[in-house]
Chains A and B, each alone.
Chain A
C-alpha cells in the first residue's frame, strides 16, 4: 500500500516537474529556430492553389492562419524598421487564394503593401490585390474605395482613382460620398481636405490594429497640417494689415483673425514662430507631419 502511494506521488510530481521544464525548453527552441522560421517554411509552397487542394476542404481555416502570419510578418518588419517586405505580397496572395472572400486581407493587406515608410511601398501590388478582391467580391463597395485611395495617395493616378470611386458608387449600398470623391478626383484635387476625407474612410473601415492606428496617425498629422496652413494664411493677412508679424496668438485674436488660442489635435496650443510660420507643440507625436504638404503635385 505504501509503495502504491509512493508511486502515485512520484509520478504526479514527475509529470508536473517535467511538463514545467518542457515549457522552459520551448523558449530555447523558439530562440534557436528564430522568428522567421515559420514564414520561411510557408513560402516553400508558394502557390495558394496547391495549398488549397492540400488543405482537404479546410482552406478557409488555413487562410485565417496565413492571414495571421501576414500580420505577424508585417508587425515584425515594422518593428525592425525594415525597408524590404519581400514576403508580404506572396503571403497575401496565398491568403486570398485560400479564401477569396476574406475581405480584411484585401482591405488591410493592401494598405500594408501600398504605404511607403510604414509599409512595403508596393502600391502596384496593392492595386493588383484589390482588383483581385473586387473580382471575387464585386458587391463590396469599400474595396473600390480602398482602390481609389491607393491610386490617389500612393500612385498619384487621378484617372484610375476616379474610375475606382465611380465604379464603387454604383455598387448597391455604397455611401453617397463615393460620388463626391469621384468628383474630387475629376477635379484632380490634391489637397489636404481630400486626403483627410480618404484617411477618415480608411480609419472607419479598418478593424482595431496596426492599420487603424496608422490611419489615425495620418489623420492627426493631416489635421495639424491643415490647421497650420490655415493659421499661416491668417498670419499673412495680419501682416498685410499691420505691416508686422504677430509676436503671440493674442495679437491675432485682438485683430479679429482668431477667436481663441489655436489648439493642435492633441489639445496643445500651436507654436507661433518668429518668421510667421507655425509648429505643433510636440512634433515627435506626429509621424507624418508635413508629408502631404511636401509631396510634389503630379502632372496629369
Chain B
C-alpha cells in the first residue's frame, strides 16, 4: 500500500514539475520577490517591511494559485486522458489514488514554497547585508502558509472530485477568500440574533479559518508567535485537510467512472 501511494504521489509531483504553468508561476514569484528591493528604494524607512510583506504575501498567494490550478486537474485530467482506468485496473484502490494525488501535490507545493523562501531570504540578505534572529522568526509565517496550502489543496481536491475544473477553481477560490475573513465571520455571528446567529456560527465553524494562519503582520513587526498557536494551528490544519480529503475519497468512491 505504501509503495502504491508513494508511486502515485511521486508521479503527481513529476507531472506538476513538468507543467509549464508551475514553472511560469515560480519564475513570476521569484521575479516579484527579487523586485522587492527595488520597491523599497522608492519608500522611506520601510524597506524591510515592504520586502517581508511582499515576499511572504507572494509565497502565500502563488502557493494558493498553484494549489488551486493544479488541484482542479488532479482527477479530471486523469479521466480526460483515460489514464485513470489504467491506474484503477491495477491493484490500486480509489482512496489510494485520491490520497496519493493529494500527497503528490503537497510535496510539489512544499518544494515550491521552499524555493520561494530561499529566493526571499536571498533578497533579504541583499537588502539588509546580514540576517538576524527576527528574520529567522519569519519561517513561522512560511510554515503557516504551508498549513494554509494543506487546507486549500484538500478543498480543491474535494471540489474536483465531483465538479468540473472551472467550477472547482471558482469554488475553491471563493472558500479561500471567505476563509481569510474567518474571524470577521465569527464576529458577525457573535453580533447576530436567532436564526442568523445560528446560521453564521455554523458557517464560521464549517468553513476553514485562514485568518489565524496569517501571521505575516505579526512577524513583520517582530511580535512573537506563541507555541500554543503553532501547535493548535498545526492540529487544525491536519484535521480540516483530513476531513476534506476523506470527503473527497467518499465522493470519489461513489463516482461512476464507466
Chain A residues close to B by CB (< 8 Å): 3-4, 7-8, 11-12, 14-19, 21-23, 25-26, 28-30, 32-33, 37-38, 40-41, 44, 65, 68-69, 71-72
Contacts of A22 in B (CB 8 A): 236, 239-240, 243
Whether A18 contacts B226 by the Cβ 8 Å rule is no
Instruction: Compute the total of residue contacts between A and B using a CB distance below 8 Å.
Output: 91
Contacts of B233 in A (CB 8 A): 29
Chain B minimum-CB-distance residue to A22:
B239
Proximity string of chain B (193-211) to chain A, C-beta cutoff 8 Å, 1 when within and 0 when not? 0000000000001100101
Is B254's CB within 8 Å of the partner chain A? Answer: yes
Is B217's CB within 8 Å of the partner chain A? Answer: yes
Contacts of A17 in B (CB 8 A): 243
Whether B254 contacts A8 by the Cβ 8 Å rule is yes
Whether A38 contacts B184 by the Cβ 8 Å rule is yes
Whether B253 contacts A32 by the Cβ 8 Å rule is no
Contacts of A8 in B (CB 8 A): 250, 253-254
Contacts of B226 in A (CB 8 A): 32
Whether A29 contacts B247 by the Cβ 8 Å rule is no
Whether A18 contacts B236 by the Cβ 8 Å rule is no
Closest 8 CB pairs of A and B: A18-B243, A14-B246, A22-B239, A15-B246, A11-B250, A19-B243, A11-B249, A15-B247
Partner of B253, one of A7, A41, A65, A71: A7
Query: How far is it, in angstroms, between the C-alpha of A29 and the C-alpha of B233 when the chains are bound?
Result: 7
Chain B interface size band reads: 35 or more
Whether A29 contacts B191 by the Cβ 8 Å rule is no
Whether A72 contacts B246 by the Cβ 8 Å rule is no
Partner of B243, one of A14, A32, A41, A69: A14
Whether A38 contacts B211 by the Cβ 8 Å rule is yes
Proximity string of chain B (221-254) to chain A, C-beta cutoff 8 Å, 1 when within and 0 when not? 1000010110011011001101110110110011
Contacts of A65 in B (CB 8 A): 181, 184
Chain A minimum-CB-distance residue to B228:
A32
Contacts of A33 in B (CB 8 A): 212, 229
Contacts of B183 in A (CB 8 A): 37-38
Contacts of B247 in A (CB 8 A): 11, 15
Whether B187 contacts A68 by the Cβ 8 Å rule is yes
Whether A72 contacts B250 by the Cβ 8 Å rule is no
Whether B187 contacts A26 by the Cβ 8 Å rule is no
Given A11-B247, A22-B239, A26-B205, the answer on whether A32 and B232 have CB atoms closer than 8 Å is yes
Query: How far is it, in angstroms, between the C-alpha of A37 and the C-alpha of B183 when the chains are bound?
Result: 10
CB distance from B202 to the nearest CB of A (A): 10
Whether B187 contacts A7 by the Cβ 8 Å rule is no
Query: How far is it, in angstroms, between the C-alpha of A25 and the C-alpha of B243 when the chains are bound?
Result: 13
